[in-house]
Amino acid sequence: MLKRSLDILLSLFAGALLIIPCLLIAVLVKTTSPGPVLYISKRVGRHSNLFDMPKFRTMRIETPELATDKLGNPEAYLTPVGHVLRKTSLDELPQIFSVLRGHMSLVGPRPALFNQDDLISRRHERGIDSLRPGITGWAQVNGRDDIALDIKIQLDAEYLKRQSLWFDVKIMLLTIYAVAGRKDISH
């Protein structure tokens, strides 16, 4: 209950603080490539329920709906501003709305794409799917794009066991450090 209340409070604060940057990003996305400003992807949330997760669109509209690491050459699909948005994680800002709607938390395992069957089933086996997925998480600050599935599951399971307000604060602070340093982003 406290975690959910903090998610709402911090998301409202962040939304108010970031409204102007979000509007500027929306204009940049719209004016530099054809297609919608937001990319909505089907993600797996708490208890394996699907939800629509928004991000600022960083890929061309004809990009296959796959995890980025499964694309042969992900750089070829990026929009003119996509690279910058991904490197700075600014493409993730619309997920604040998913937090407010209760589909996500600020901190938790990153939501799997609907077609990442191995990740989904392994999270279910370990009980990780009982958690709300997060904008950031323990796996993200310990490797982000550069960790193998086994390690990601291990880190998500560790978060499940260790979750607390203080652990979430630590992860948020580590996220700021990782994003500022553009650490462990491969595409």
Enumerate the domain spans of the chain. 2-180
Mean pLDDT, residues 113-138 taken together = 94
pTM here is: 0.87
Residue 118, pLDDT above cutoff 80: yes
Given this model, what pLDDT does residue 139 score?
Answer: 94
* Contact residues for 143 (Cβ-Cβ < 8 A; gap 6+): 151, 152, 155, 184
Given this model, what pLDDT does residue 179 score?
Answer: 81
Band (pLDDT 50/70/90 cuts) for residue 187 is very low
Average pLDDT of the chain to the nearest whole number: 91
Residue 19, pLDDT above cutoff 70: yes
